[in-house]
Every structure is written in structure tokens, then in C-alpha cells.
Structure 1
Amino acid sequence: MLSIVRPVLLLDEQRVRQNISRMVNKAKHHGVAFRPHFKTHQSAEIGGWFRDFGVKKITVSSLQMAYYFAESGWKDITIAFPVNVCELNQIQDLASTVHLNLLVSSSEAADILARDIKTDTGIFIEIDTGFKRSGMDVDNIDAIEKILIRIGTNKYLRFEGFLTHTGQTYLAAGPEQIRSISAETYAQLRRLKEAFHSAYPHALISIGDTPGCSVMDDFSGIDEIRPGNFVFYDLMQLQLGACQPDEVAVAMACPVVAVYPERNEMIIYGGAIHFSKEFITIPEKGPVFGMMVYLRKEQFTEPDPDIWISKLSQEHGTVRTVPHQAAHFSVGDILYFMPVHSCLTANLMREYHTLSGEIIQTMNS
């Protein structure tokens, strides 16, 4: 029996392992390398579950995270974030002990690495295929070639290939649009790879968004996939159609601290510092910061469309219900909510409570 007195992030280990198994098997079926992103769970223990399925190389989002997982025995790590040149000394220390890949997202960064790196290091060039966050424009062949030439002047830098995050799939209206966006991205990357094939025949194409990796059935021309959120999934992925309700593996458990039936609302102990302020928009509801689920037979149900978090303050969560529903709840009840973005919620909560009552630490615990 779970004993909950304050907000905690509950984790269904069975679902997590099923999600890992499903993506491992998908990568094998399509003949692509699997380098999962560990920024979602940030846990050495959960990382060990990936090892159980034969995973040997990983992705992280910071040098600090790379060190944390290196200390847990991971030897092949890509930092899928534009290289922070302020950390070059620490980067080289780590690169002397593991196979480390960095992400170059600008010509300036390439110049600095080419000048200063003195330790064997892998380099991916980040490619922007339309998300407009960071990376070199996929069609700017001349600028990409200049970076490749600059990298080639340093014997310690090893060009690995082209890497992208198709973040625009998170704006899709559903699975079909995810497939359309992903197919166009893959076609762009195939053309890019072909443009440099004669000079760099071993260059890899690495892609990494959970919606695309979850729904796509054709990875032609792709060499590596790096999804992260799939390990837990969340309300955003469910709304996108990237997963099913029984694949979402986490839920926030929050005590009810006030009930206001006359306004169809409750207040929970669980605010922005627990959930994050990420939201989705649902017609007739507006911004939704989480939706209520039930814990039945040690499993989370699909979301209840009649009960959702409509507003978040620092510690307060305002729960909205359809008429007459709020009166069914009392102060002291524990309610469960599917978070909108499990990566951010997990980072804020810093530990997991499994449904069997165990506590799993993260790098932030």
C-alpha cells in the first residue's frame, strides 16, 4: 500500500520496461542503431533496465549528465546539445575515459573545437530541418562543408555524421501529420548524406524525436534513432497520438487540500514546481496542465476527461471538473494526474516512487 503525504511522481516499472522493449525491438526490426536519450529519466537505476535489453550507447543533454552516466559504466555517450565551449577542459577529461560525441551547431563552435581540442572526440553536425531551434540549415551545403573542412584540420576530431531533432512533430495534429513531417525530414537528410557521401561515406544520420520514432514504419536512410520521452510517455504524447493510454508509465500523486463544489474546483498540493508549467490546449477546456487518472489494480487508467488541472501556481494546482463532480472528493484524498511533459516533471521531482513502494533516485536526488 502506497503511503503518500505530499506530491510524488509514481512510476510503473512494468510499463517502463515494456516501452523500452518495444523501442529496442523496433530499432532492430528496421536495422537502425538505438541510442536512447536519458534526459527523460536521468536515473542510473532506470538506465540499468536499458542494459537488460542490450543497450550499450546513450544520449544525454548536458556534460553533467554525461559524467553521471559515465560513472554508472556507460562508455559510449553523445551529448545532444550544442557544445558549450566554456566546458572544454571538463569535456576533454571525460573524452579521455569514454567514447564521447559532441554536437556542433555553428561555425564558431567548430572553429573553437578545431583550435583547442586535444583529446579524441566524436563530432556530429547538428542539422535544422525546419524546427528553427539550433543547428545548420539542411540546405546550406556550403556552410556545412566549411564546418567539415574545419573539423578535418584537427586530428583529434572524428566526424560521426549529421544529427537532428525533428521538434516540429510536437506541433502535429496527429499521427498522419507526424508521419508526413518525419518523412520529409528523412528525405532531406538522405539528400544531405548523398551530397557528402563521396568524401564521408561512413557519415551517420541520427534522428531523435519520440513522436516520429513511435509512429514511423519506414526509416529508410536513417542510421540511428535517439528517442527519450518514450520511456515514460505523457499527456502530450497521448494527445499527439504517439502512444496509447496503457503505455504512459508515470503519474503525479497529489493530496487534495481544498474542495469548492460551488465552482466545480478543487485545490491540490501540486503546482508548477512539481508539474512544470508546460500545458496542452484542449477544446472546451483551454490550457490543461494535467489530467486525472485512477490507480486500479496497480495500473494507471486512461485520463478522465471530466477532471483536469486548469491552473498552476508555485505550490497550488487548481483542478477543474464538470458540474457536480467536485463534490465527490474530500480534503485529504490523494488524486493522480498524468503530466503533460514527463521529462520536465521528472526533472523537477528528482525521484520516483514505484507502485511497489520503492524509491528510485536520479542524478538530481
Structure 2
Amino acid sequence: MAVFLPSPLEILERKEMPTTISDVPTPSFLVDYDKVKKNAQKMIDTCERLGVQLRPHMKTHKTVELGTLMTNGTNRTIEVSTLEEAEFYAKNGFDDILYAHPLIAARIERCKKLAYRLKAFHVMIENFHGLIALLSSPLENRKKWSVYLEIDDGCGRSGVPWDSGDVIKLAKEASESPYIDLQGLYLYNGKTYEATDSKGIENTNKEGTDLLQTLHKRFTDNNMECRTLAIGNTPSCSRPHEGMNVLTEFHPGNYIFYDMQQVTIGSCDIDDIACRLTTRVIGHKPSHNIFLIDCGFLALSYDGMNEYPNQFSTFVDNPDLKVIGFSQEIGKVTTKSGDKLNYDKYPIGSQLFIIPWHSCATACQHTVFYVHSGNKITDMWKPAKGW
């Protein structure tokens, strides 16, 4: 008689929790509770030491449970990348939410509902389209749009180029409007991802901090207030330069899980990584020196596969294995060294664990996170989905 295992969502709805890691359906996303707790506390301590406000980004995990952990139980002062996330966290009692995504007019009405619902809701602009959208849709009841101006340091991400005259033009028009409360500046500091060690990250942090201070002086010279100087991303906030105590906010997100990308650039050690993907061997192909796993690109994602083929799929306790190809639900695994696979070591049905290259991209593929302490499953978390 065939045995049919329930899906992760069915398990969650029935509140039937697997007992151990070996009991979870595969592929599944595993979260080490002891490590996320440690990562969260370390970032809280870092921000307290530097005297900056921690505004953790929720985009990596999108769960209530980790939102509470990252905010030290306050459920306040967070950042999101989608309006779905903002609405999800507002519904679950969170406040002081920054929608950290270039604002467009098509999203104004949803933003308005959040602005009225929350004590503090902030939006981010990088161009005149976003500013005009706000000026064309003023809030009522004496409320003002709370706005961050995003700066591009030259890495080509979103944000107004830091050396453009539009920085002051946008800021002046926003600060002079009776409908807008301009908080200040946000810099992603994306050049940290070009680093190869912690010292490189610290040097880039100094450059980013100096850039924000330069812009702050330009604000002052133009008789404008700039209350907020914020820097984002996990490398910046994990390996801060001591001079960053002149800033007011840190906006990291990935640090709650970390991943192999963060290890490679020097943000953390491999033991800090708090997530894994579990998968099972489903077939042997000796003619091609590969075996198949039940983890396709919908479980792990392609992110980093072409650029970092050997680090992309780090198999726990099996360092010579790597994923070399995907279909939607199946992965192909061979050796990094080119040696012949020992199929006796990887029998069909055996369980393997992969440390993701980019935990944000992997986590977003999953509807349920299996939380564990040691080998024991202790909880199941359901992340927000959609945009």
C-alpha cells in the first residue's frame, strides 16, 4: 500500500509537528533557533554599543517570530521590501515600518492605508516621480508622509546618485512641502559586497559613512534638516567601522540567517549560518557520474550558481559535492574534484543538507520553515508571501 506524506502546509494547518529533522518532508528549509537567537542578539548589542537605532529588514525571512526576535520583543522599528510584508506586519501588531522600495504612484493608495493605520509608516523615494506621487496625494487628519531619500553610492542600485544635483533638489522640494516630513538619507552601501574580508568591509563602511556626512553638510549648507543618516545591508552592519557611531540607523536583514555569500565576503563565519536546506537522494546516474536530489531551482534558487559554482551549494559534511544543474523539482549532483561518486555513500532515500549561497533567495521559495534546536523540531513558522 502506498504511503502519502502530508505537505508542509497540511502539517502546519493540522499542527502536526515533525519530531526530528529526519522526519521533515523534503525539500524543506530548516532554521536553527539557537543560532538565529545568537545572531539577533549580537546585532542588538552592536547597535547599542555604537549608539545607533537598529531597524532590521524583514525581507530575508518575512515571519512574525523572527520580527519579534530581531526587534528585541518590541515589534517596532522595522523595514520591509514589499507592501505585502508591510500589511502582514501591521496586521500582526508591528509599528514604525519603513517601506524600503522606490515609491511609484500605483502604490500610493495601499501606502495611504498603512499611513493611517500605523503610528509611524515611512516611504522611500529616489526620483521626482515618487515625490510628485506624494505631493499629489496628501494625507489627511494632520498626518504627513514620512520620507527617506535613498542615495546611490555609485554601485548602480536604486537611489539618487550621491553626486547628482537632484539630491538637494529632491530634498528641498520635499522639506518645503507641508505634506511631507523628510527624515533624512538612506544608503544601501552596496560596495561592501565587493569585499573579500572583514577589513575590506570596514574600509567600505568608512567610505559610506564619509559620503553620508558629506551629504549631511550639503543639507546644512542649504538650510535643511537631516535627522536620519541610515546605512543598510548585512556586511556593513556585521563588520562596522567604529566611526559609524555618527550614523543614526542600521538596516541589516540577512544577518539573521547569514549564508555562504556572507562567509565569502567576510561578514560572518560558517558557524554563524542559521539555515539549511534538507533534501533526499532520489536517483543514481553512474553513466553521468551524478545523482539526483528532490531539490530543484524552486527549492534552492539559481542565485549565485553561475558566478560561484563551487560555493553555491555547500553540502554539510560532504564538501566535495556540488549541484551542477536543475529542473524545477530535481537537482543534479556530482563531485567538485571530478572523482567518481561512491553511490554506496549516497543511497536513494538518504538525507542531505545544503547551506545556501543566498539565504534570502532560498527562504522565499518555502511556505513553511522548520525550526529546530539540535536535532529536535521545536516549531514551524509561516512567512508572508506576495508583493
Both proteins in one fold, TM over 0.5:
yes
The reply to whether residue 363 of structure 1 matches residue 380 of structure 2 is no
Q: Which residue of the partner structure matches residue 60 of structure 2? A: 40
Q: Which residue of the partner structure matches residue 207 of structure 1? A: 231
Rate the CA distance shift 1:129–1:151 in 2: closer, same or farther, 3 A. same
- Which of these residues, 356, 359, 368, is aligned with residue 339 of structure 1? 356
- Which of these residues, 124, 149, 157, is aligned with residue 125 of structure 1? 149
Q: Which residue of the partner structure matches residue 237 of structure 1? A: 262
Amino acid at match of 2:40: I
Equivalent residues of 2:314, 2:356 under 8 A apart: yes
Equivalent residues of 1:290, 1:308 under 8 A apart: yes
> CA shift at 1:333, angstroms?
0.5
- Which of these residues, 194, 198, 201, is aligned with residue 171 of structure 1? 194
Q: Which residue of the partner structure matches residue 348 of structure 1? A: 365
Gaps of 5+ in 2: 1-19
> CA shift at 1:60, angstroms?
0.3
Taking the aligned partners of 1:247 and 1:54, their CA distance within structure 2 comes to 24
Alignment of 1:1-365 (within 5 A): 1-2=20-21, 3-52=23-72, 54=74, 56-98=76-118, 99-118=120-139, 119-140=143-164, 142-197=165-220, 199-218=223-242, 219-261=244-286, 263-279=288-304, 286=309, 288-294=311-317, 304-321=318-335, 322=337, 323-327=339-343, 328-355=345-372, 356-357=376-377, 358-364=379-385
* TM-score (norm. length: structure 2): 0.86
Equivalent residues of 1:60, 1:66 under 8 A apart: yes
Taking the aligned partners of 1:169 and 1:50, their CA distance within structure 2 comes to 22
Rate the CA distance shift 1:280–1:237 in 2: closer, same or farther, 3 A. farther
State which drifts further: 246-255 or 219-228.
Answer: 219-228
Taking the aligned partners of 1:169 and 1:280, their CA distance within structure 2 comes to 20
Q: What's the CA shift string for 1:65-94, capped at 9, x where partnerless?
A: 111101111110111110132011111111
> CA shift at 1:53, angstroms?
5.1
Secondary structure at the counterpart of residue 212 of structure 2: helix
Gaps of 5+ in 1: 295-303
> CA shift at 1:220, angstroms?
3.9
Rate the CA distance shift 1:334–1:64 in 2: closer, same or farther, 3 A. same
Rate the CA distance shift 1:148–1:217 in 2: closer, same or farther, 3 A. closer
Q: CA RMSD in A?
A: 2.0
Taking the aligned partners of 2:73 and 2:44, their CA distance within structure 1 comes to 7
> CA shift at 1:95, angstroms?
0.2
> CA shift at 1:313, angstroms?
2.2
> CA shift at 1:11, angstroms?
0.7
> CA shift at 1:55, angstroms?
6.0
> CA shift at 1:350, angstroms?
2.2
Equivalent residues of 1:252, 1:338 under 8 A apart: yes
Amino acid at match of 1:172: A
* TM-score (norm. length: structure 1): 0.91
Taking the aligned partners of 2:75 and 2:265, their CA distance within structure 1 comes to 27
Taking the aligned partners of 2:72 and 2:130, their CA distance within structure 1 comes to 37
Equivalent residues of 1:123, 1:161 under 8 A apart: yes
Name the count of aligned residue pairs: 353
Rate the CA distance shift 1:293–1:159 in 2: closer, same or farther, 3 A. same
